[in-house]
Amino acid sequence: MEDELYLENIDEFVTDQNRIVTYKWLSYTLGVHVNQAKQMLYDYVERKRKENSGAQLHVTYLVAGNLIQNGHICHKVAVVREDKLEAMKSKLATIASVHVYSIQKALLKDSGPLYNTDYDIVKTNLHNCSKFSAIHCAAAVPRTSAEVSQVQTSVQAGSQTPSDTNAVSVPVVNGHGPSTAKQTAQQPKGIMGMFAAKAASKPQDTNKETKAEAKEAPGVSAVSSKPPAKGNIMNNFFGKAAMNKLKVNSVLEQPKEEKEVVKPSVPVAEPESSPNPVVEKPGKKTESARIQQKDKKSKMKRVDKSDNEEERVPENLKKKRKRIKKLQSDSSDEEDVPPSPMPEEEKAPSPPPVPALKTELEPASTEVSAGGKKRKRKRVLKSKMFIDEEEDCMVTEKVYESESCTDSEDDFAKSKPPAAHKQPVLPLRKEPKEERKNLKKGAATANRANKQVSIMGFFQKK
């Protein structure tokens, strides 16, 4: 008798009111257990089909079971239309549950109305939502107000509950849940999906604990690498400048490789450079060390507000010195003015020789006699660089040397003795910087007559 009454109610809902009757909605409306509601819906469909008046009825089913996908076993729960029920059942390896989900007269185009149907009924019965449910948990007890306030304060402090809820809502066991969730989340957003994709592609750069980072397993490694990541941000700043300089001077190494070298090596260099610059042994210099030197130079020179591009990198200096070697007459060495106040601490010897050149030139100019071409010996202040192995640093020393020169050929003659003097030193690799500096001086003095004194001579008068 009661069954007949229930079936009449269902018939009224479906046929007269043209409602979508889901098992959950029926359970709350009639006050019956969900399993009983499912059975009632099934009986109604069977009866209507037998009466041949069920043609207007459209039924949706809930199918749950294990699905083997890409070698992984995942549990799938799907709501499908009646015409696709058999196809879904054949896909599943094992079927855990099949029951009627809803009955309606209209053919549904998507699952939106099903959600809409249950939304209000669940919302009104939110406090006793598990009253007619088949899922029970003795520990699932509503929290007291005190516990709720504690949870809220902990959420505000830690902001970790979103990641936990996501872990609960999206199963990560099979490894397929997060990816599918991402796909379904990105598809309907359209333009917003572009931003989401970009945000997902930058988990390593950001230090935020977002949901995407919590979902992704490799994101954990990104989180663990935060301190070096922070260092990388600063180092990339210098690394980029060093890269540009390398490109300008046509470095042999590829930029990509250098970047890869810079990134791991610069974190080592940065703590050294910032507090106390540690000078490396010249014999042990590797490519990474050279790059570190470059970075240090760049840093120093940015601090000193230097405009010279050639003073950054020892390789660049080497190359420029090579150019100086070849040309010996043309040079922009006068522009290579290093205003660094502490040349001894630098690994690269670029700054000192140029001031020495200028100091050399100035007394030389004063000493030139006004009368014709006469050979003279002059005392010229020269700076000599050598490596102090005890302290592992480059030391610049200003020494007066006597040189022979004439009035008109004063500058050219000066270049000869240092070149001749240093020729046997050329093949040596240990002190290439010193000889290059001397050559640089000679070339600089040779060209001194042809070019204006640069403004940097103002700083070198001391």
Partner 1 sequence: MTTLTRQDLNFGQVVADVLSEFLEVAVHLILYVREVYPIGIFQKRKKYNVPVQMSCHPELNQYIQDTLHCVKPLLEKNDVEKVVVVILDKDFHYFLPMVSNTCLCRSVLEQLLRAFILKISVCDAVLDNNPPAYHFSCRLYLHRSGSHTGGCHTEHGKDPGDKGE
Q: How many CA atoms lie within 13 A of 197 on its CB side?
A: 11
Residues 15-34: x/- map of binding to partner 1 (CB under 8 A)? ---xxx--------------
- Tell me whether residue 116 or residue 153 sits nearer to partner 1 (CB atom): 116
Candidates 115-123, 161-169, 238-246, 302-310 — which segment interacts with partner 1 by CB under 8 A? Answer: 115-123
Sketch the per residue contact string, 34 through 63, with partner 1: x for CB under 8 A, - otherwise: ----------------------x-------
Q: Determine, following the binding rule CB under 8 A, whether residue 183 of this chain makes contact with partner 1.
A: no
Binding partner 1 (rule: CB under 8 A), the pick from 1, 87, 107, 135 is 107
- Rounded-to-integer distance, Cα 310 and Cα 324, Å: 12
Least gap, CB of 111 to partner 1 (angstroms): 8
109 near partner 1, rule: CB under 8 A: yes
CB of 143 to partner 1, least distance (A): 24
Q: Are 369 and 381 a contacting pair, CB within 8 Å?
A: no
**68, 73, 93, 106: which one binds partner 1 (CB under 8 A):** 106
C-alpha span between 265 and 230 (Å, rounded)? 14
Bridge partner residues of 397 (DSSP): 384
CB of 45 to partner 1, least distance (A): 16
Measure CA of the first residue to CA of the last residue in the chain; give whole Å.
114
- Residue that has been written with the tokens 């996501």 in this structure: 166
Query: Considering only residues 71, 112, 424, 427, which one is a binding residue for partner 1 as defined by CB under 8 A?
Result: 112
- The angle that helices 255-273 and 287-304 make with each other, rounded to 10 degrees, is 60
The least distance separating partner 1 from the CB of residue 92, rounded to whole angstroms, comes to: 26
In the complex with partner 1, the residue whose CB is nearer, 52 or 250, is: 52
Q: Report the residue from 105, 131, 240, 247 that binds partner 1 according to the rule CB under 8 A.
A: 105
305 touching partner 1, by CB under 8 A: no
Q: Among 2, 4, 110, 390, which residue interacts with partner 1 (rule: CB under 8 A)?
A: 110
Kindly write down the DSSP assignment for every residue of 23-85, as one continuous string: HHHHHHHHT--HHHHHHHHHHHHHHHHHTT-GGG-EEEEEEEEEEEETTEEEEEEEEEEGGGH
What type of residue is 415? S
The verdict on 120 binding partner 1 (CB under 8 A) reads yes
Name the DSSP class of 456.
T
Instruction: Identify whether the C-beta of residue 352 lies closer than 8 Å to the C-beta of residue 456.
Output: no
Torsion region of 297: left, alpha or beta (phi above 0 gives left; psi -120 to 50 gives alpha)? alpha
Residues 359, 377: Cα–Cα separation, whole Å? 17
Query: Contact between 104 and partner 1 (CB under 8 A)?
Result: yes
d(CA 370, CA 413): 18
**Count of residues that interact with partner 1, criterion CB under 8 A:** 21
Residues 236-295 that bind partner 1 (CB under 8 A): none
Closer Cβ to partner 1, 185 or 393, answer by number:
185
CB 301 within 8 A of CB 341: no
Part in contact with partner 1 (CB under 8 A); list of ranges 109-117, 136-144, 248-256, 411-419 = 109-117
- Residue 195 binds partner 1 (CB under 8 A): no
- Asked whether position 190 contacts partner 1 by CB under 8 A, the answer is yes
CB 200 within 8 A of CB 182: yes
Binding site for partner 1 (CB under 8 A): 18-20, 56, 104-113, 115-117, 119-120, 188, 190
